[in-house]
Structure 1
Amino acid sequence: MSPSSAAPPAPVPAGHAEHLDDDAAHLAALGYESRFKRNMGFWENFSLGFTYLSPVVGVYSTFAVSFMVGGPTLIWSILIAGIGQLLVSLVFAEVVAQYPVAGGVYPWARRLVGRRWAWLTGWIYGWALLATVASVSTGAAGFVAYLFGFEATRTTAVLVATGLMLLAYAVNLSGTKMLGRVAILGFVAELAGALFVGVWLLLFERHHDLGVFFHEFGASAANGMSVTGGFLAASLTGLYLFYGFEACGDVAEEVPNPGVAIPKAMRRTIYVGGFAALLVTAAMVLAQPDFRAIITGQNADPITATLETVFGTGGAKAIVVIVLLSFLSCVLSLQAAASRLIYSYARDHMVFASHALSRFSDRLHVPPVALTVAATVPALIVLVAEVISENALARVIAFASVGIYLAFQMVVIAALVARRRGWVPSGKYRLGRWGLPVNIAALTYGVLAIVNLAWPRGEAFADRWSVLLGCALIIGAGLLYMGLRRPYTRSDAAHGDAHVGTGPMEEPARA
């Protein structure tokens, strides 16, 4: 990487400057000289992960479809997915502490196993990220329609999603500091909104006791499924919720002392996000006066209906404003993560148009071309998906979730392979003797989650096979491109060397 031509940074406190010197030295030892500014503090980094995970977006986007097939038992999918993804986050924490490089899963897989594996990991993760931007942006359309009183159609969905992505793009172009500030604003607003709505509903609008969480009230049978099949289908909520913590590591070159800060931010994202998601879900379930209306589709939008019934039209719209801020923050974080991956890919000459995609603005301290791609490609996905199908959102969500989980498990597998080769994590965060069992447990959970997400369901061909066909298309195209153009050979950056000369070098950070 060529040195930055930016103006000298403003003076920083001595202790902070010492950390920055250590961070630069660590990155140089890994073969990179960063042009990002390390001005994203711990709370900003945590907020980035939290707003990407976004419990309000996850629950509000999937509550109706999950409840329809699983009833109140959908809440257990949140707990199961939270524990499973915590295991994955612990594996990631060890890796990012040793390799705090922008782009996340791609550079991690590169150092753990090698160039080919890393290239395919980044390819799958990148497309899944872009699909997630599209799905989250589309999910906001119904709330915007409710807020401004117009009918939600495919056309309005495309317009709203595109507008949301453009707004997030403008904020992201403003630089890391603005990204961090908006992420904190999004975190505070989302958590406050989730706590207010959740506590209010639990205290004043409970129509059921806690026993309902152990019954699905015929939801599975109404959809032609077994009880187990209904619960697995309803687990889309939990599986869609618990990724986003990796975004803390995607911006590793923008965080001071990343080996300590990022592992802590990842774990906290799971803890706080999981708590907020469980609270909102429990409150929404217990506040429903008629479960059958949701299961049969008579109440197609139970979230908005509940808010309007409880808080009135004015109160419901005020809450929807907070919900939309959550959507904006989520899209903002997703765009940032996707742009850092694309930039990291291009910096190593691993993809076509690398020269353009690796451009860096020394004035804004962001990669503008990579950011532009992270904004425009999801807009095209939304346009194509809405033209093809009425159920585009559910399909895009399922494909995005499978793609993210595949990429996650490729890193988990890479860590397991590296351990077998002799890798001993040497960053500031280490699991010690728990590293191997946690790694194996994370892989077991991830494989089961992928099978569940990709399992063919529904009567129509597109409903049953769209996720598998989408994954096959992306992976097949990646393998074809990789085989024909051999992009992984274009960089002499280090690869597959995690097990060489490793060993504890520093005291591990406390959890």
Structure 2
Amino acid sequence: MTTTPPRAGRPTATTRPDGPADADRLAALGYRQELRRSLGVLGNISMGFAVVSPVVGLYAVAQVGMGVAGGAWVWALPVCLLGQLLVVCVYSELASQWPLAGGAYQWSRRLAGPTFAWLTGWLWQFAVMFANTTVAYLAAPWFFALFGATPTPPQLVLTALGFMLCCTLVNAYGINLLRRFVALGIAAEAIASVLVGLALLLFFREHGLGLLTDTLGAPAATGTGTLMSFLAVVAVGGWAFIGFDACVSTAEETKDAARQVPRAMRWSLLGVGLVVILNAVAVPLAHPDPAAVVAGTDLDPVTTAVTAGFGDWSAKPFVVVVLVSFTACLMASQGGAARGLYSLARDGVFPFSAQVRKVNRHQAPIGGLVAATLVSCAALPLGLESTAIGSLIAFGTAATFLPFFLLTAVALVARLRGTWRPAGEVSYGRWGTALNALAVLWTGLEVVNICWPRALLAPPGAPWYQVWAAVLGTGVVTLAGLGYLLVRRPQRLMREPAEPAATVR
């Protein structure tokens, strides 16, 4: 089957969509409204903000960043933020024209055809599901920190499983309950990120700004040059700026989605990016001994900086707000994974599609939710080997940037061939092609950068397969997808994508 390229040109209709018009637009794209459309723009922004999560992002990369490049690691973050804003520009044009759940899969169908679309959707789904495994595992130690306990690896795995199941239960009750829990998480983010970061920077600073250009001898200690250390930090820092596509996952539950989803992606990424950079600057400046982080004797520089500034009394309250932030991130990301699976399954192109596409009485994608939870939980036993979680993070980052690259690349090819001209609420006109080309360059370089095998990002004495985790993990998922394509040929089941006669405004 070949896919007819979408018609170029701008829409002619000017009716602004409300609830019914959104359903009509969805019907024009070939689907009926099954999920509950109740999110406004703030609700959609909150989904993206919770998944990108400044607390989760900073905790995942701060210790590694400082250990590799000292105080100078913070300069990698603006590079990553600017690169991801280029991706958001491309995503905004696509989301405004085709506001559908499972964006990467749905957009690729219309830009490049069924085979490419299916593989892109497959890669994106597994990246998100394994990222959920990582978030659940990283949240588990904070539960034990509430009681001052030191958990064993099996206890961490069981606790992460408990987090996963609790988040599944909340998601099963639909988008409205999920939105309330995510709002609580964002309130915790505001305390743990904005207020604490400003307080550290303004009242508890221990060092001058010169620390932010000082590598503290980290490149020499790791046996790498300054440039290679910086590239390594850029590879790690990219993880702090993924997840904005969660706004796309809830497009079919957002009012006026063609207009609001692009706005939500932009504001969630910018908001999180600025907060991450604020805290990345504040933590080393308020840390009593940044050299200890470089030496590897302080594995939690954020908590050290907070307790050194506010006093020991702040440790438990800070643990609570961080734990709430991690939980909200997991809930929102798990909801996004479920909706992506639902989008694939309703076309009958995912394993066990009849079960995965089911929607419950709360209008939640319960089949996708169960499937996403099972896959994420299946990877949790990797946490029994405590050093393996680093490999999971490396794979998750590479697997996320690969769909970014594939989608921006196919969008650029479609532009250059003239088979796609943005015809939605968002269009950058003549600048769109240049922005798209820069997005392809950024994501392509970042895929190579993340997958480059680096011993300095692996635990000391790590086996070779942990050093090559990004390449191996991405390769295994890609080969599994290609095998399914060859054996089951799901691309043959894809219907010709419907296109509305005019994009409704």
Same fold by TM (over 0.5)? yes
Where does residue 10 of structure 2 map in the other structure?
none
Give the Cα–Cα distance (whole angstroms) in 2 for the partners of residues 171 and 74 of structure 1: 37
Q: Tell me which amino acid in the other structure corresponds to 1:424.
A: R
Q: Normalising by structure 1, what TM-score?
A: 0.91
Is there any run of 5+ residues in structure 2 with no aligned partner, and where? 1-14, 456-460
Structure 1 residue 335: Cα displacement: 0.5
Instruction: Confirm or deny: 8 A CA contact 1:207 1:289 kept in the other structure.
Output: yes
Aligned residues with identical type, % of pairs? 37
Would you say the 8 A contact 2:394–2:470 is kept in 1?
yes
CA–CA separation in structure 2 for the residues paired with 1:240 and 1:18? 35
**Equivalence for 1:4:** none
Write the distance in 2 (CA, Å) between the matches of 1:198 and 1:228: 28
1:276-322 per-position Cα deviation (integer Å, ceiling 9, x unaligned): 10111111110122222111111122222222333333312101111
Structure 1 position 369 matched with structure 2 position 363? no
Deviates more, 1:166-175 or 1:288-297: 288-297
What's 1:19 paired with?
18
Contact 1:78 1:237 in 2 (8 A): no
User: In the aligned structure 2, how far is the partner of 1:472 from the partner of 1:215?
Assistant: 37
| Contact 2:17/2:256, CA 8 A, preserved across alignment | no
Structure 2 residue aligned with 1:132:
131
1: CA distance, partners of 2:59 / 2:156 = 16
Pairing 1:401–2:397 present: yes
Cα deviation, 1:53-75, whole Å, max 9, x if unaligned, reads: 00111101221122111111221
Match of 1:449 among 438, 446, 451: 446
Amino acid at match of 2:483: L
Shift of 1:506: 6.9
Matching residue's letter, 2:163? L
Contact preservation (8 Å) 2:61, 2:240: no
Match of 2:427 among 401, 426, 430: 430
The aligned amino acid for 1:407 is P
- Indicate the SS of the match to 2:341: helix
Q: Distance in 1 between matches of 2:466 and 2:189?
A: 32
Deviation, structure 1 residue 395: 1.2
Map of 1:234 onto structure 2: 233
Letter in 2 for 1:367: P
Q: Which amino acid aligns with 2:224?
A: M
- 1:44-193 equivalent positions in 2, closer than 5 A: 44-193=43-192
- What's the offset of the Cα at 1:156? 2.2
Q: Take 2:235 and 2:160, find their aligned partners in 1: how far apart are those partners?
A: 22
**In the alignment, is the contact (CA less than 8 A) between 1:131 and 1:396 conserved in 2?**
yes
**What SS does the aligned partner of 1:91 have?**
helix
Aligned residue for 2:401, secondary structure, equals helix
The whole-number CA distance in structure 2 between the counterparts of 1:291 and 1:99 is 47
Aligned partner of 2:77: which letter?
Answer: I
Give the distance between the partners of 1:488 and 1:481, measured in 2 at CA.
10
Task: Report the 3-state secondary structure (helix = DSSP H, G, I; strand = E; otherwise coil) of the residue aligned with 1:67.
Answer: helix
Quote how far apart the aligned CAs of 1:442 are: 0.4
Conservation of the 8 A alpha-carbon contact between 1:50 and 1:245: yes
C-alpha separation between the residues in 1 aligned to 2:284 and 2:445?
26
Quote the residue 2:335 is aligned against: 336
CA contact (8 A) 2:114 2:494 kept: no
Counterpart in 2 of 1:466? 469
Measured against aligned partners, the alpha-carbon deviations of 1:32-59 in whole angstroms (never above 9, x if no partner) come to 1121111011111000000000011110
Mapping 1:294-313, distance limit 5 Å: 294-313=293-312
Deviates more, 1:131-140 or 1:300-309: 300-309
Contact 2:286 2:309 in 1 (8 A): no
Q: Which one-letter code corresponds to 2:497 in the other structure?
A: A
The answer as to 2:488 corresponding to 1:491 is: no
Whole-angstrom CA distance in 1 between matches of 2:261 and 2:123? 23
Distance (Å, rounded) in 2 between the aligned partners of 1:192 and 1:144? 18
Asked if 2 retains the 8 angstrom alpha-carbon contact of 1:141 and 1:152, the reply is no
Runs of 4 or more, structure 1, over 3 Å off, are: 504-507
Any idea what the Cα deviations from partners look like across 1:367-422, whole Å, max 9, x if unmatched? Answer: 11210122222122121x123x3322221111101101101111111211221232
Q: 2:416 aligns with which of 414, 420, 430?
A: 420
The answer to whether 1:392 aligns with 2:391 is no
Residues 251, 340 of structure 1: 8 Å contact kept: yes
Counterpart residue type for residue 257 of structure 2: P
Distance of 1:74 and 1:173 partners within structure 2: 40
CA drift of 1:354 comes to: 0.6
Identify if the C-alpha distance between structure 1 residues 18 and 58 changes in structure 2 by more than 3 Å, giving closer, same or farther.
Answer: closer
Does structure 2 retain, via aligned residues, the 8 Å contact 1:98–1:427? yes
SS in 1 for 2:115: helix
| Aligned mates of 2:216, 2:186 — CA distance in 1 | 35
- Could you tell me how far apart the structure 2 residues matched to 1:417 and 1:237 are? 29
2:45–2:267 Cα contact (<8 Å) kept: yes
CA distance in 2, matches of 1:310, 1:398: 32
Deviation at 1:475, TM superposition (A): 0.5
CA contact (8 A) 2:100 2:252 kept: yes
Q: CA deviation at 1:355?
A: 0.5
RMSD across aligned positions (CA): 1.8
1:378 alignment partner in structure 2 = 376
Q: For residue 463 of structure 1, report the CA deviation from its aligned partner.
A: 2.8
1:428, 1:506 within 8 Å by CA — same for their partners in 2?
no
Q: What is aligned with 2:478?
A: 475
Distance 1:19 1:143 in 2: 42
How many residues are treated as equivalent by the alignment? Answer: 484
Q: Cα 1:494–1:317, aligned 2, differ >3 Å: closer, same or farther?
A: same
**Does 1:248 find its partner at 2:247?**
yes
Shift of 1:267: 0.4
Residues of 2 paired with 1:297 and 1:189: CA distance?
Answer: 29
Measured in 2, the distance between the counterparts of 1:34 and 1:489 equals 24
Matched AA of 1:75: V
Match of 2:216 in 1: 217
1:237 offset after TM fit, Å? 4.3
Segments of 5+ residues of structure 1 without an aligned counterpart are 1-15
The more displaced of 206-215 and 309-318 is: 309-318
Give the conservation status (yes or no) of the 8 Å contact 2:100–2:106.
yes
